[in-house]
């Protein structure tokens, strides 16, 4: 059965996700140690620091290091993937895993991305909310109406067939939430995030991020890497512009999952800070087989019980 690997983004990180991994898995330890050298701070300590995990400039490289460390340990337990897909930040881990992006270059890139995004959201505060519905057209129409009244609110993340995250100014999201509930939406869940990611509120980060990307070399990937932004595989000719565009455009994770299923991929393996993506896969590709690797217990289950806690 063709396999697809999934790589998580920020949002699910927690201080327990790295517990016991560093001590028990040499390949994970090697990635964390290399990350500390590249970034200039103790990555293992930051992974166990709740404040750091909530700070975007740290969160992004920490999540990539953790996710890629898990991948390095467990990848050989599975059939080589036909395609890979990351959610937002997870696209960078996917590109690294595919060989399209060197790990050290990728880590430096997401560290700069995190800093630029943090600067942007501090200058133009925003927030997000998860709208639980299958009626995306209704949500889009409500958001358009709120924008017509002068507030900023946009579709941000099409996560599954039943969840669309919206983002914008605090007032815009508040007004949209009220209008959605009035329109019959049962659940709109405020998210504890640093800003309105994947919306035009992040435009201030684009130019500087493009300059950073200009210094990075990408190579032909070993397997297909789907883009959240274009809903198509990344192409070397356009990859840098697509990654710049990703900052201010919605992610289409659910649509990418459906495209993978159309290619016959019905087994998904997730590497990341939690099991969010396999939950999305369960809702979007209902008959799929799913494995999520995000902490010691889930990795131990895949690798075997010989790995006991030190």
Residue 119 is encoded by which pair of tokens? 């600067």
Catalytic residue, from 18, 88, 98, 169: name it.
88
Clarify whether 198 is annotated catalytic: yes
- What single-letter DSSP state applies at residue 203? G
Catalytic residue, from 18, 98, 198, 288: name it.
198
Q: Which residues pair with 129 in a beta bridge?
A: 166, 190
Q: Could you tell me the strand order of the sheet in which 289-293 lies?
A: 224-226, 83-86, 3-7, 267-271, 289-293
* Nearby residues of 194 by Cβ (< 8 Å), 6 or more positions away: 54, 55, 56, 118, 121
CA-CA distances (angstroms) from residue 258 to 28, 75, 81?
Answer: 31, 23, 16
Distance CA 224, CA 180 (A): 37
- What single-letter DSSP state applies at residue 105? H
**H or E element at residue 182:** helix 170-182
CA-CA distances (angstroms) from residue 254 to 155, 156, 183, 210?
Answer: 13, 12, 24, 27
CA 221 to chain CA mean position, Å: 19
Clarify whether 88 is annotated catalytic: yes
Q: Are 219 and 246 in contact (CB under 8 A)?
A: no
The catalytic site residues sit at 88, 198
């Amino acid at each position: 059965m063709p396999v697809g690997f999934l790589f998580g983004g920020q949002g699910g990180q927690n201080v327990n996700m790295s517990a016991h991994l560093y001590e028990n898995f040499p390949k994970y330890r090697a990635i964390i140690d290399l990350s500390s050298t590249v970034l200039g701070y103790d990555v293992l300590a930051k992974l166990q620091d709740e404040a750091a995990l909530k700070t975007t400039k740290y969160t992004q490289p920490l999540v990539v290091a953790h996710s890629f460390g898990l991948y390095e340990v467990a990848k050989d337990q599975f059939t080589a993937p036909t395609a890979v897909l990351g959610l937002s930040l997870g696209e960078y881990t996917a590109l690294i895993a595919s060989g399209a992006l060197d790990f050290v270059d990728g880590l430096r890139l997401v560290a700069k991305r995190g800093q630029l995004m943090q600067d942007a959201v501090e200058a133009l505060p925003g927030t997000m909310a998860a709208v639980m519905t299958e009626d995306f057209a209704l949500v889009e129409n409500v958001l358009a109406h709120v924008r017509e009244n002068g507030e900023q609110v946009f579709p941000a993340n099409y996560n599954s067939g039943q969840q669309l995250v919206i983002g914008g100014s605090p007032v815009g999201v508040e007004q949209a939430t009220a209008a959605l509930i009035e329109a019959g939406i049962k659940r709109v869940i405020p998210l504890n995030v640093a800003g309105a990611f994947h919306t035009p509120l992040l435009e201030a980060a684009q130019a500087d991020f493009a300059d950073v990307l200009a210094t990075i070399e990408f190579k032909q990937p070993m397997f297909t890497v789907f883009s959240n932004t274009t809903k198509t595989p990344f192409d070397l000719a356009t990859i840098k512009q697509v990654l710049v565009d990703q900052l201010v455009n919605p992610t289409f994770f659910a649509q990418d999952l459906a495209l993978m299923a159309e290619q016959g991929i019905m087994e998904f393996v997730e590497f990341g800070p939690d099991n969010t993506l396999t939950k999305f896969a369960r809702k979007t590709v209902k008959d799929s087989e799913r494995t999520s690797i995000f902490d010691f217990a889930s990795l131990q289950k895949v690798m075997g019980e010989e790995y006991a806690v030190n």
